[in-house]
Structure 1
Amino acid sequence: MTDTHIIKLTAAEIAQKIASGELTAVEVAEAHLARIAAVDEKVNAFLHVDREGALAQARAVDEKRERGEELGPLAGVPLALKDIFTTQDMPTTVGSKILEGWRPPYDATLVRKLRAADVVILGKTNMDEFAMGSSTENSAYGPTGNPWDLSRIPGGSGGGSSAALAAYEAPLAIGTDTGGSIRQPAAVTGTVGVKPTYGAVSRYGMVAFSSSLDQGGPCARTVLDAALLHEVIAGHDPMDSTSIDAPVPQVVEAARNGSVEGMRVGVVKQFRGEGYQAGVVQRFDESVALLKELGAQIVELDCPSFDLALSAYYLIAPSECSSNLARFDGLRYGLRTGDDGSRSAEEVTSLTREAGFGAEVKRRIMLGTYALSSGYYDAYYGSAQKVRTLIKQDFDRAFEQVDVIVSPTTPTTAFPIGERADDPMAMYLADLCTIPTNLAGNAAMSVPCGLAPEDNLPVGLQIIAPVMKDERLYQVGAAVEAAFVARWGHPLLEEAPSL
């Protein structure tokens, strides 16, 4: 089998072929490493490629199989890891100059789970600095291109992970989602991205942006692949005080038996209107019609507090970021500037942050510090938390009427790199549909639902489920995916231009 054939396989197919001996894990790793070497100079999906480490992991899988040991469901499958998780054997930069070259002393829980499952980690992917952005233009190491059109953004903050999938540099990836940073990149690259229920995947070793919102999750090219990865990384972790001590939902079984027959699917009126691209709305309406054809009951919903979600998020997230990033002071680890013996610790910290933080990170720190300041805390941060409660109550009422909610994942398709660089508000609107689920802690997924007729770029369908009902995402997502593949006769990414 040629490298071209190998890189087009799904993760499930790769795992099966390795387990049967049709392919070796080393052959699979080498094929993907060769693809990275061939195209990543143009895509810029990876910040660090661990060639020797990946091949060593792959050889260990092959040795296991030769000894007759049972292999896990993703043994030998390559994966691209967002550079926000700590790794002992690779740098963790979080897309920032302030942590350039930093090698953590421990692995994140999620990374340990991947290694224990014999997943082959290819390297670390590009991202908006400290996960603050919707386009992966805020990385200190340059923007990532969207493989559908390299002049356009691949989404953010996890654009490196989504681009690696769309460019066939890896069949699996890991992202994190604070306000949509798994689902939004999935939508604009024609891939699948899942934000699990908050607390379902450990945050231990994930560099914090906004602790009450951040959530790691799986990224893939198919719903089944995402489900297989979800079951590997999910589960209770005593090292994470927000981790849910409950069984992992049976998402793989749901993905293998996708159906919406008899399900109640909600459509929220607040998730459309001004600012939505016509082609995105068209594809969403077609998806709703498809769900009805497949046997779902469509229910109109009114969630008035969702109109306030963006404002609440941009008070809560910067406030938590202001607190979390206070640890980057140039004194303990990472970049240190101005320490020539003539300056105080406060001056060194100030100079280090000036040199090490980018413009968007500084903007959010200032917003958050202001919102938390004496005299403004109740007016801004306190009010935003009250809105958060209203949003959760709207979701609770909605889920009394429906099993899942659907919406467009993003209001538009991928926009050109640089188009919104000088307009932060326009950039923030990219997460308009995704933010409410982070504020409430619900599970959500983005699956491809076609190409927008105006620009022939991917559109995502968002599926939202109640807390700890993640299997519903995969049940609906698999049904939609199968119907679209049957309709078009091929996966969406087969339409992507060659790099």
Structure 2
Amino acid sequence: MTYHGSVLKKGGALLLAGTMVAASWGGTAVPSAFAAAATPSSQSSTAAALAGKAPASAATFVQAMEEAATLAGVPFTMDKLSGATIARKDAALALQQWLKLDAAPESFKDVPDQSEFASAVGALNAAGLMKGYTDSLFLPNAVLTASDVSILKDRVYNYIKPFVFEEATIMDMQTAMAQGKLTSKELVQHYLDRIAKYDDQGVSLNAVLNLNPDALKIAEQLDEERAAQGPRGPLHGIPVLVKDNFDTKDMPTTAGCICLKDSVPDHDAEQVKKLKAAGAIILGKTNLHEFAFGITTSSSLGGQTLNPYALDHYPGGSSGGTGAAIAANFAAAGMGTDTGGSIRIPSSFNSLVGIRPTIGLSSREGIIPLALTQDVGGPMARTVSDAAIMLDATVGYDKKDVATAYAVGKIPSSYTDFLDVNGLKGARIGVAPELIPSTKAEEKAVADVINAAVEELKSLGATAVPISIPNFAEINKYPSLSGYEFKFQLNDYLDSLGDKAPYHSLSEIIASGQFDKTQEQAMKARDARDTLETTEYKDIVLKRTQITRDSLLKVMADNHLDAIIYPTSTQAAGVIGKGQTSGANNRLSPFSGFPAITVPAGFTSDGLPVGMEFLGRAFDEGTLIKLAYSYEQGTHHRQAPKLTP
């Protein structure tokens, strides 16, 4: 087995006195480097002198590396070393020989270019196993302490252990590709195999509508690019799935409707374009509730998507195809859209993280609209860190979506900078009893999980502040604008397709009969609207938005809150055929335009996932990510579905 010593980014932070700190890749957390602390004034002084630790013997070092190899299940061929201590240069030589690391250049002032250990130092530095004491000093004669050897053992184990596809994070994949254990082409093929095994046959989730026929070819090109000039960033060569209402110029974009089954737009949606520019591979398109009308994910083109945790239950919607697919490990991460709860509900039902961004943070250009006053696109992933990486790639100004002008100057360098395991310490979290109903048995099952989650928040350092949402009853009297805007905005979208449009209006689609007949009345009601120039519509747009924003900002300011939490859905996934409700909590984010993130909070006694949603102020996604990440890392509630091992 050969391991190639390339890294995600050279340089970065150091490990001093046995303390691990994160290096940086455009703000994305990556594995930190190994360095033994030693006094720069004297290389005969050991790292132990600085750290207060005893020096390790050569035999101890060899034994530790053998234990790492045994744990990883790989051959151990390191020659035995002797001596009361072991110098950093000798450890580097031994590790380079054993791991067969490619030679790499180094620029340390105290490592002569012609020295026998120069290539080993460069290789270990490049592999991220041993860094310098400073950016310019390696201290080759400094000896390793017992603490250093322990840390190095962990680093070597993580470096040589076999890559496990299922539940792997984006950074796990990047590390494996950097170490030569994996190629993007292999990763794509693995996901294609899983889709064939679990979506097309077996449990047959019906989550994926179309696959990219060029995915393997694109992956091969990205592998070549990586070899020639390194990765573009954390999404380089990473396969992702997108909901089939995002335009893709190389695959049909259907909204789940048979009426659009052959509609291939000329351009990618802006967020798809950004993902491709970041090096992501659009592996395919996922099923959705047709035209994003509902929360059960059934369509005339894709049929009923199933929940991988319970095949007789709904997966949530309208982004249920993405939810089921990412939960079942069909791709690294995915994209959904959310008008009322369509990212967050399926994320909750599939034990995923879902981010509904502030309206204006990300472009909606090229997304088939439901109601642009409320529509957003956003990431769905198995971890908060993966969702943050996806968000980084998809945000930003787009002249074709004027709402994105509001985000200018409000986007951090990277949302991964907020991945703080201690993020809940000192946080003040609002908890409103009216958002955690428990009257019905289905509600109580969810309420029990959320009430336990509140206790977990407190154990992780947060203060749970009892609150009441001002004007909550009045806010909930307002309807979603999907019943008002859909006809006009869909017609605009169809017009944007030009001569290639299979239909030119909602009226034509209804007349064709080529759609899900269970939605006929809803479609006809929307088509019957003649204009948006009505007092009723304008009152909703203006008054609903103002009262929701003012109410949320007031309760947060009065109580000095960092966020408000509540169950993403007041009921877990329902049985297919018996209906599905989610409650009204998910309206607070779209009615205000404020961001929300849902994170796994546990499971009901029936084994159904439950999500907890964090709601924050406009363009404060960073705070929500910090809080959600701290909760995720402190609880680890996410579990993969047993039906798709």
Normalised TM-score (structure 2): 0.69
Task: Work out whether 1:438 is the aligned partner of 2:585.
Answer: no
| Runs (5+) with no aligned partner, structure 1 | 337-344, 421-426, 486-490
* Gap runs ≥5 in structure 2: 1-159
User: Are residues 1:468 and 2:606 paired?
Assistant: no
CA distance in structure 2 between the aligned counterparts of 1:313 and 1:138, rounded to whole angstroms: 24
Question: Residue by residue, what CA displacement relative to the aligned partner does 1:168-192 show, whole Å, maximum 9, x if unpaired?
Answer: 1112000111111011000011111
Relative to structure 2, which stretch is displaced further, 173-182 or 292-301?
292-301
For 1:289, the equivalent position in structure 2 comes to 455
What are the within-5 Å matches in structure 2 for residues 360-375 of structure 1?
361-368=519-526
Secondary structure at 1:61's aligned position in 2? Answer: helix
Partner of 1:81: 242
Which shows bigger deviation, 270-279 or 200-209? Answer: 270-279
The reply to whether residue 246 of structure 1 matches residue 412 of structure 2 is no
Matched, 1:164 2:362: no
Residue 4 and residue 366 in structure 1: after superposition, are their counterparts in 2 closer, same or farther (change >3 A)? farther
> Given residue 125 of structure 1, which amino acid in structure 2 is its aligned partner?
T
Quote the Cα distance in structure 2 between the aligned partners of 1:170 and 1:451.
Answer: 23
Task: Give the SS at the match of 2:447.
Answer: helix
In structure 2, C-alpha distance between the alignment counterparts of 1:179 and 1:325, rounded to whole Å: 17
2:464 to 294, 298, 304: 298
| Aligned: 1:177 with 2:338 | yes
Query: Which residue of 1 is the match for residue 638 of structure 2?
Result: 492
Say if 1:187 and 1:461, in contact at 8 Å, map to a contact too. Answer: yes
Q: Is 1:43–2:170 an aligned residue pair?
A: no
Partner of 2:608: 457
Separation (CA, whole Å) in 2 of partners of 1:364 and 1:37:
34
How big is the shift at 1:123?
0.4
* Other-structure match for 1:340: none
Q: 1:222-251 deviations in whole A, cap 9, x for unaligned?
A: 111111111011111122111122342342
Bigger RCO of structures 1 and 2 (CA < 8 A, at least 6 apart): 1
Distance (Å, rounded) in 1 between the aligned partners of 2:218 and 2:296: 32
- Once the 2 structures are TM-superposed, how far is the Cα of residue 139 of structure 1 from its aligned partner? 4.8
Match of 1:20 among 169, 179, 188: 179
Higher helix residue share? 1
* Residues 256 and 21 of structure 1, relative CA distance in 2, 3 Å threshold: farther
Secondary structure, in 3 states, of the residue corresponding to 2:513?
helix
Question: Are residues 1:358 and 2:358 paired?
Answer: no
- Amino acid in structure 1 at the alignment position of 2:574: F
User: 1:415 is matched with which residue: 563, 574, 577?
Assistant: 574
Matched residue, 2:484: 319
Native 8 Å contact 1:261 1:294 kept in 2: yes
CA distance in 2, matches of 1:448, 1:335: 40
Matching residue's letter, 1:80: L
Query: Is contact 1:319-1:367 (8 Å) kept?
Result: no
Question: Which residue of structure 2 lines up, in the alignment, with residue 231 of structure 1?
Answer: 392
Q: RMSD of the alignment, in Å?
A: 2.7
Distance (Å, rounded) in 2 between the aligned partners of 1:385 and 1:353: 34
- The 1:387/1:83 distance shift into structure 2, 3 A limit, reads same
How many residues get paired? 474
Pick the structure with greater CA Rg: 2
| Mapped partners of 1:294, 1:471: distance in 2 | 19
Percent identity over paired residues: 30
Does the CA contact (< 8 Å) of 1:137 and 1:153 recur in 2?
Answer: no
Provide the secondary structure at the position in 2 that maps to 1:16: helix
Instruction: Please tell me whether the aligned partners of residues 408 and 462 of structure 1 are also in contact (alpha carbons under 8 angstroms).
Output: yes
TM-score when normalising by structure 1 = 0.88
Q: CA deviation at 1:364?
A: 3.8
| Pick aligned residue for 2:193 from 23, 34, 45 | 34
What code does the residue aligned with 1:43 have? L
Secondary structure class of the residue paired with 2:295: coil
Shift of 1:57: 1.8
The one-letter code matched in structure 1 to 2:622 is: E
Deviation at 1:279, TM superposition (A): 1.5
SS in 2 for 1:396: helix
Q: What pairs up with 1:195-206 in 2 under 5 angstroms?
A: 195-206=356-367
> How many Å separate the matches in 2 of 1:212 and 1:405?
23
Q: Residues 57 and 311 from structure 1, CA distance in 2 versus in 1: closer, same or farther, beyond 3 angstroms?
A: farther
Q: Could you tell me how far apart the structure 2 residues matched to 1:81 and 1:406 are?
A: 27
CA–CA distance in 2 between the matches of 1:121 and 1:265? 37
Contact 1:110 1:202 in 2 (8 A): yes
On the 8 A contact 1:319/1:365 being kept in 2, the answer is no
- AA aligned opposite 1:110: Q
Query: What displacement does 1:367 show?
Result: 4.4
Q: Is the 8 A contact 1:95 1:139 kept in 2?
A: yes
After superposition, the C-alpha distances for 1:310-368 in whole angstroms (9 at most, x for unaligned) are 44233x221011322335599954445xxxxxxxx99x955754513434654444444
> In 2 relative to 1, CA 381–356 (structure 1 residues): closer, same or farther, beyond 3 Å?
farther
CA contact (8 A) 2:507 2:527 kept: no
Given the alignment, which residue of 362, 383, 389 partners 2:546? 389
1:44-69 deviation digits (Å, cap 9, x = unpaired): 1110011x321122112210121133
Question: Which residue pairs with 1:102 in the alignment?
Answer: 263
Q: Please give the alpha-carbon distance, in whole angstroms, between the structure 1 residues aligned to 2:162 and 2:530.
A: 53
AA in 1 matched with 2:601: C
In the other structure, the counterpart of 2:214 is 53
The amino acid across from 1:292 in the alignment is: K
Equivalent position amino acid for 2:487 in 1: S
Cα displacement string for residues 18-58 of structure 1 (whole angstroms, at most 9, x for unaligned residues): 133221111111111111111112011110011x3211221
